[in-house]
Structure 1
Amino acid sequence: MSTTIGQRWRTGRWIAVALIAITAVTAAGAFFTAPRPGGRMDPESTSSDGARALVTLLRDRGVEVVVATTVADVEQAARPDTLLLAAETYYTRGTDLLGRLADVPGDRLLLEPTSRARQALAPDIRLSGASILTMKPDCDLPEAKRAGTVQLGSTDTYEKAGDADLTRCYGGALVRYQADGRTVTVVGSADFMTNGGLLQEGNAALAMNLAGGRPRLIWYAPQQSEGEIGAEGTSLTDLMPDAVTWIVWQLCVTVLLLAVWQGRRLGPLVAEKLPVVVRASETVEGRARLYRSRRARGQAAEALRTATLQRLAPRLGLGPNASPTAVLDAVAMRYAGDAMTVQHVLFGPSPSSDSDLLHLAQALDDIERQVTKS
């Protein structure tokens, strides 16, 4: 009896341990595989705009990826043999912060740099345009030649602005040059490095070749603004690409020319005779047809009543602004019908049908005829 109880206890204990282990493994798996939202180029985000897939691939390849959220983190992690990947640079506000990034040792990989970031970190290039590119590298850069055809999507293109020997790939969407003992690489689009962009043709290879060129990579893609905007801080025009600035200026010139054209003087008015004489009956019939096509019985009734009152007022000795009561009293003295009928005809509701509108016109004509003859 005691042996059976002991066996059951040992069996139940192992079952409990197994259940606890399964629960722990399931919870851990859910924790590590659960979706992690985040901003664009966020190294921890698993969304389509995040970059967790590329960071994971780089670490599996043996690259030490250091995530830096501030410029101070970049300065602390930087070494001469490191590669600084800088994306989302519009969050880095202030020339002092960009100047500190420019003083960091090591190579640079800039993705979609703003105009101020480009001036501080890649001053030997300038923006040449924007396009949608899916093409072969057409250059001698090893990283691009190994990747082959890529789909960069909508991207900026660059050209040489200084004396540096510039290598242009993919129509200028990817450029590289040497300056001050460092390699500076600029790409006009970061879409090919995101989780959603890696799956397209050649994108993963190009991303791995560019970001994995050094054993230590500093990933600087801030997800919130750093630095205060002062009197000399970043303005809206600083955040706009150069191409957008030119488009805005072109639109302003176009609007100005259009205003001048539309506002031209046509000279003084010249009185001319009408080419034809339109009879009053045709005008009345045309207006009546418009009322009928729109079923505007209320407007038609109002026009009839107003015209009748305007003709009756002088005959009744009333002014143009006489009250309805004064009009009814004056008409009742000369009209043979009921006073309630007069009130309904002159000031009643709008007719509900074409037949009622016709009867109203006849009643108004009858009232005006009796008042005129009296």
Structure 2
Amino acid sequence: MTAPARTRTRGPRIAVVFALLAITAVAALVTWQTSPRDGNYLDPRSTQPTGAHALLTLLRDQGVDVVVADTVGAAVAAADEDSLLLVTRTQYLPGEDLLAELDEAPGDRLIVEPSRMMAGVFAPGVDVADTMAKINPGCAMREADSAGVANLTSGYTYEQADDDITGFTSCYGGALVRYRDGGREVTVVGSANFMTNGQLLKDGNAALAMNLAGSHARVIWYAPQQLEGESSGDATIFDLIPERVNWIVWQLVLVVALLALWRGRRLGPLVAEQLPVVVRASETVEGRGRLYQSRRANDRAADALRTAALQRLLPRLGLTTRADPPQIVTALAARTGMPAAAVSHLLFGPAPATEDDLVHLASALDNIERQVAYQ
């Protein structure tokens, strides 16, 4: 009678183990399929806050044929007379020969956040200006006027370089310009932040991004993540391990954990212990923010935001806390390429007059920290 009793006892345990294995396997598969996709700034495949997968998905849902080109050759091959070539992350654009090949591709242009040098290559009709961008369009361009308020205040502004060009239109204080170059329409945007996953739902960012990038039935998205022909130097030893090895290791860990759970022994009943009250940091920050809001202390809130941003920026710039404002402005302008006047206004300017201005200040400070971190 002893052997059958043991068999009956062991049977339910084995069934429980297999059920746990099946549930864990399904959960792992769902987690893997829905996990965030890593990527760099404006990577159309990235679901990170700085990526642009959300805009890519919205465009395709609206019937726009979006071609993600990883090389100049792929971008040129996909372009035609009726397409729109979206070019961004110009700091990773290749040498002169490939640049010339890309510039000769047919179709209209949407050049996003080009530097002074790259603006001269792809948009010779404009120059980088030393003016402040605005959040309101203030122009007659249909795409900008229908979008309304948008966050383009953290990048470049542009001005007309040649009086002979036709159809020049400037919006958002010069952060968005458009002109005709022969039979081609060239649109230049000084900031790409409004197109990212993290900022797309704010104000009219999504509308502006869709209006600009979705104006053609076919869009070629060229956002190089590194120079062509060069491999990334950020790979770690874990990146060199084949993917199948990782899965085998995790399966072994799961089996060991289940066996430990099955064969483990309780040492006794759990002892209830009264813990002190813990206040999360997020609740403290929210409470302080609501206190500022109730007292309309925009000046103190702005001062707190700017002080915290400087504390994080100074080590990245190689400066100490004794650095004076001109040194900080010069270093940030050199690092980000933003006009010195814009940097000075952002970090040391007057207090915001309204809560909307305070929100835009916080967003602009976050943008400049991101630019310093990625460079």
Q: TM-score, normalised by structure 2?
A: 0.54
Whole-angstrom CA distance in 1 between matches of 2:146 and 2:20? 50
Matched, 1:138 2:138: yes
Whole-angstrom CA distance in 2 between matches of 1:239 and 1:97? 26
- Residues 133 and 157 in structure 2, CA contact (< 8 A), matched pair in contact too: no
Q: 1:22 to 1:209 in 2, by over 3 A?
A: farther
Matches within 5 A, 1:296-335: none
Whole-angstrom CA distance in 1 between matches of 2:32 and 2:84? 31
- Residues 167 and 177 in structure 1, CA contact (< 8 A), matched pair in contact too: yes
Provide the secondary structure at the position in 2 that maps to 1:155.
coil
- Residues 90 and 239 in structure 1, CA contact (< 8 A), matched pair in contact too: no
CA positional deviation for 1:100: 1.1
The letter for the 2-side match of 1:218 is I
Matches within 5 A, 1:253-272: none
- Residues 108 and 185 in structure 1, CA contact (< 8 A), matched pair in contact too: yes
The equivalent of 1:193 in structure 2 is 195
The equivalent of 1:180 in structure 2 is 182
- Residues 101 and 121 in structure 1, CA contact (< 8 A), matched pair in contact too: no
Whole-angstrom CA distance in 2 between matches of 1:122 and 1:26? 50
Q: 1:80 to 1:25 in 2, by over 3 A?
A: farther
Q: Which deviations, in whole Å up to 9, do the C-alpha atoms of 1:102-145 show, x marking residues without a partner?
A: 10000110011122321121101111125353x22111111001
The equivalent of 1:155 in structure 2 is 155
Whole-angstrom CA distance in 1 between matches of 2:22 and 2:108? 47
Q: Which deviations, in whole Å up to 9, do the C-alpha atoms of 1:169-213 show, x marking residues without a partner?
A: 011100001112111000000000001110210001000000001
CA positional deviation for 1:26: 5.1
Whole-angstrom CA distance in 2 between matches of 1:19 and 1:62? 43
The letter for the 1-side match of 2:140 is D
- Residues 133 and 172 in structure 2, CA contact (< 8 A), matched pair in contact too: no
- Residues 67 and 220 in structure 2, CA contact (< 8 A), matched pair in contact too: yes
Identity over aligned pairs, percent: 53
Provide the secondary structure at the position in 1 that maps to 2:41.
coil
Provide the secondary structure at the position in 2 that maps to 1:65.
strand
Whole-angstrom CA distance in 2 between matches of 1:227 and 1:24? 39
Q: 1:23 to 1:93 in 2, by over 3 A?
A: same
CA positional deviation for 1:150: 1.0
Whole-angstrom CA distance in 2 between matches of 1:178 and 1:98? 20
The equivalent of 1:73 in structure 2 is 74
Q: 1:206 aligns with which of 205, 208, 218?
A: 208
- Residues 133 and 175 in structure 2, CA contact (< 8 A), matched pair in contact too: no
The equivalent of 1:106 in structure 2 is 107
Q: 1:22 to 1:61 in 2, by over 3 A?
A: farther
- Residues 131 and 173 in structure 2, CA contact (< 8 A), matched pair in contact too: no
Structure with larger Rg: 1
Whole-angstrom CA distance in 2 between matches of 1:212 and 1:82? 10
Q: Which runs of 5+ in 2 are unaligned?
A: 1-18, 231-333, 344-375
CA positional deviation for 1:21: 10
Q: 1:200 to 1:181 in 2, by over 3 A?
A: same
The letter for the 2-side match of 1:31 is W
- Residues 179 and 185 in structure 2, CA contact (< 8 A), matched pair in contact too: yes
- Residues 131 and 155 in structure 1, CA contact (< 8 A), matched pair in contact too: no
CA positional deviation for 1:96: 1.7
- Residues 85 and 222 in structure 2, CA contact (< 8 A), matched pair in contact too: yes
Q: Which deviations, in whole Å up to 9, do the C-alpha atoms of 1:196-234 show, x marking residues without a partner?
A: 110210001000000001111111000011268xxxxxx
The equivalent of 1:276 in structure 2 is none
Matches within 5 A, 1:1-374: 29-131=30-132, 133=134, 135-162=135-162, 163-164=164-165, 165-226=167-228, 241=337, 243=339
Whole-angstrom CA distance in 2 between matches of 1:19 and 1:60? 38
Whole-angstrom CA distance in 1 between matches of 2:139 and 2:22? 55
CA positional deviation for 1:75: 1.1
Q: 1:242 to 1:41 in 2, by over 3 A?
A: closer
The equivalent of 1:351 in structure 2 is none
- Residues 175 and 190 in structure 2, CA contact (< 8 A), matched pair in contact too: yes
Which moved further from structure 2: 29-38 or 213-222? 29-38
Q: 1:108 to 1:25 in 2, by over 3 A?
A: farther
Q: 1:217 to 1:19 in 2, by over 3 A?
A: farther
- Residues 153 and 175 in structure 2, CA contact (< 8 A), matched pair in contact too: no
Whole-angstrom CA distance in 1 between matches of 2:102 and 2:79? 10
Q: What RMSD in Å do the two structures reach over aligned CA positions?
A: 3.0
Whole-angstrom CA distance in 2 between matches of 1:141 and 1:25? 51
Q: Which deviations, in whole Å up to 9, do the C-alpha atoms of 1:295-325 show, x marking residues without a partner?
A: xxxxxxxxxxxxxxxxxxxxxxxxxxxxxxx
Q: 1:24 to 1:143 in 2, by over 3 A?
A: farther
Q: Which runs of 5+ in 1 are unaligned?
A: 1-17, 229-237, 248-374
Whole-angstrom CA distance in 2 between matches of 1:190 and 1:242? 13
The letter for the 1-side match of 2:185 is T
CA positional deviation for 1:101: 1.2
